Amino acid sequence: QRKNPFSNDDRLASKPVHTHRGDPTYGRPLEGSQTEQRGKDAHSHVGKEVEELCLIIRSTGEVGEDGHVSVTFGQLFETYVTISNKVVGILLRARKHGLVHFEGEMLWQGKDDDVIITLL
């Protein structure tokens, strides 16, 4: 529509045609758009789920000799799955932010039930 001479939509004409990797807006929605707001809302929601997961670990886990609270994945899965079915994804996000530690790339129900998850 940007190249269409019969289009009256000013929003399309004012947008840059292409952004490049060096551009700070590359891969980001337009400022003030509904897409940007949905992204912010999703980020906030996931942050709350990570906080809730950490609280569950703290309440169900046991304090070790190093002072950190730990719980097995199996125990955490059984407790948290009643709250959310995204326990593994939320654990990965929490690890990315340095809030928990566990061995391995991914955790699988049954196979990794004995993996220790430590709250940092």
The string of pLDDT tens digits covering residues 43-75 is 999 999 999 999 999 999 999 899 999 999 999
Does residue 104 lie within any of the structural domains? yes
Q: What domain count does the chain have?
A: 1
Residue 30 has a pLDDT of 85
The model carries a pTM of 0.70
Does residue 35 lie within any of the structural domains? no
Q: Which structural domain, as residue segments, surrounds residue 77? A: 62-119
Residue 21 has a pLDDT of 82
Question: 54 phi and psi, to 5 degrees?
Answer: -60, -40
Whole-number Å distance between alpha carbons of 74 and 112 = 7
Does residue 66 lie within any of the structural domains? yes
Cβ neighbourhood burial of 32 (10 Å; 0-12, 13-18, 19+): exposed
